[in-house]
């Protein structure tokens, strides 16, 4: 769970509200393990979600966060391991770099701002979170931009707004979505691994008894009903990746009849070449680049867990391929 989108999903899925401190990496020098914008949540009880290093600063950061929670005031902490003889936190701190981390109590203004970011990311939009700061470590207000417009300001200190001297502006992208059709037992490790790899997983199955939060707690959404109803609820996007695991020819065929006209870029199919040929006959043109069959980078992988690892690896490979293509198209 490395992305900001995943971190917010975890925060807003907690059934019991608690006092959190948001730790955000705002600047680095030298080689850093994470990029600016990376964040983690730290509870007053020491519970943490996310990470900013390979694990070498988190213990101290939790203690720093407890002090921020107790005071109710934000602060900035710096971890510097650029000097070779500085062994305070070991050379694993950013692999010899400097990290500046903003610690903020998640009070009402920040909660509202994070909620606005979360809603934008869930809708597939990029979001920018801007902190207006009258002093080096004090945030007077938050502004959120998504799409072409700004949300209302989320103000903490109205009297300081005229004294704003600096800003911290960080942009976040939504998790790529995996549409997992089928909620059988072999879909469980696929959903878990894809979610841990940074995808928002939507599980869809007509069987309500299988498509449940208890079986798929990591899923961003669970959808049941007829094929048409499920796809209407999902609202397929261009950058979605679909995996068909219903193991029923007629249902897989029905799903493909809807997906063939959708904008999505990737459709993974389980099973043999003969089964795939029967499924796509008359629907897709030969060589359609959207079709991946058998899905996974290791054909013929045996066992649900190994198959899931292979599928997750191919999904990540496709993300890398799409990013390279986008960079090439933009000339970067």
Q: Could you give phi then psi for residue 254, rounded to 5 degrees?
A: -65, -40
Distance in angstroms (rounded) separating the CA atoms of residues 233 and 231: 5
With beta carbons less than 8 A apart as the criterion, state whether 8 and 121 touch.
Answer: yes
Looking at residue 92, what is its pLDDT?
45
Looking at residue 33, what is its pLDDT?
81
The separation between CA 259 and the C-alpha centre of its own chain, rounded to angstroms, equals 24
21 forms beta bridges with 42, 105
Query: Percent helix, strand and coil across the chain, each rounded to 5?
Result: 35, 25, 40
Looking at residue 90, what is its pLDDT?
47
Looking at residue 286, what is its pLDDT?
86
Looking at residue 324, what is its pLDDT?
87
With beta carbons less than 8 A apart as the criterion, state whether 305 and 318 touch.
Answer: no
Whether residue 38 is preceded by a cis peptide bond, meaning omega within 30 degrees of 0, is no
Low-confidence residues in the chain, pLDDT < 70: 1, 14-16, 82-96, 159-164, 330-332
Distance in angstroms (rounded) separating the CA atoms of residues 152 and 158: 14
Looking at residue 326, what is its pLDDT?
76
Looking at residue 95, what is its pLDDT?
54
Looking at residue 91, what is its pLDDT?
47
With beta carbons less than 8 A apart as the criterion, state whether 239 and 125 touch.
Answer: no
Q: Where does the chain have alpha helices with state H?
A: 4-13, 58-71, 108-122, 187-196, 227-234, 249-259, 273-280, 304-330
With beta carbons less than 8 A apart as the criterion, state whether 274 and 212 touch.
Answer: no
- Contacts of 84-91 with C-beta under 8 Å, sequence gap 24+, read 89/56, 89/57, 89/60, 90/56
Distance in angstroms (rounded) separating the CA atoms of residues 119 and 127: 9
Q: Is the pTM of this model over 0.75?
A: yes
Share the mean pLDDT of the chain.
88
Looking at residue 25, what is its pLDDT?
95
Whether residue 330 is preceded by a cis peptide bond, meaning omega within 30 degrees of 0, is no
Closest by CA to 128, choosing from 157, 160, 167, is 167
Q: Which domains does the chain have, with CATH numbers?
A: 1-106 (no CATH), 107-174 (no CATH), 177-322 (3.40.50.720)
- Tallying the residues shown for the chain, one arrives at 332
* pLDDT, tens only, 194-252: 999 999 999 999 999 999 999 999 999 999 999 999 999 999 999 999 999 999 999 99
Closest by CA to 72, choosing from 107, 38, 44, 97, is 107
Looking at residue 162, what is its pLDDT?
55
Looking at residue 131, what is its pLDDT?
93
Looking at residue 215, what is its pLDDT?
97
Q: Which residues of 52-61 are buried (b: 16+ CB within 10 A; e: fewer)?
A: bbeebbbeeb
Looking at residue 153, what is its pLDDT?
86
Query: How many CB atoms neighbour CB 247 within 10 A?
Result: 13
């Amino acid at each position: 769970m490395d992305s900001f989108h995943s971190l917010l999903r975890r925060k807003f899925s907690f059934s019991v509200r608690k006092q959190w401190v948001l730790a955000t990496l705002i600047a680095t020098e030298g080689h850093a393990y994470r990029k600016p914008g990376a964040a983690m949540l730290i509870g007053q009880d020491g519970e943490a979600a996310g990470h900013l290093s390979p694990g070498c600063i988190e213990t101290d950061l939790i203690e720093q966060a407890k002090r921020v929670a107790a005071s109710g005031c934000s602060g900035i902490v710096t971890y510097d391991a650029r000097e070779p003889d500085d062994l305070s936190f070991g050379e694993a701190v950013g692999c010899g770099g400097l990290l500046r981390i903003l610690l903020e109590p998640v009070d009402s203004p920040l909660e509202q701002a994070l909620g606005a970011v979360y809603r934008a990311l869930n809708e597939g939009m990029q979001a920018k979170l801007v902190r207006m700061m009258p002093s080096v470590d004090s945030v007077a207000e938050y502004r959120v931009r998504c799409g072409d417009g700004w949300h209302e300001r989320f103000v903490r200190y109205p009297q300081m707004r005229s004294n704003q001297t600096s800003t911290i502006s960080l942009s976040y992208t939504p998790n790529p979505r995996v549409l997992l059709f089928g909620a059988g037992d072999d879909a469980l490790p696929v959903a878990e691994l894809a979610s841990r790899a940074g995808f928002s997983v939507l599980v869809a199955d007509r069987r309500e008894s299988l498509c449940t939060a208890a079986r798929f707690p990591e899923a961003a959404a669970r959808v049941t009903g007829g094929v048409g109803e499920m796809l209407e609820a999902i609202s397929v996007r261009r950058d979605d990746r679909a995996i068909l695991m219903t193991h029923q020819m007629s249902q897989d065929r029905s799903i493909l009849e809807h997906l063939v006209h959708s904008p999505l870029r990737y459709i993974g199919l389980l099973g043999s070449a003969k089964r795939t040929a029967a499924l796509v006959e008359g629907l897709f043109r030969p060589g359609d680049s959207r079709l991946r069959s058998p899905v996974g980078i290791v054909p013929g992988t045996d066992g649900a867990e190994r198959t899931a690892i292979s599928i997750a690896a191919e999904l990540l490979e496709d993300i890398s391929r799409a990013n390279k293509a986008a960079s090439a198209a933009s000339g970067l």
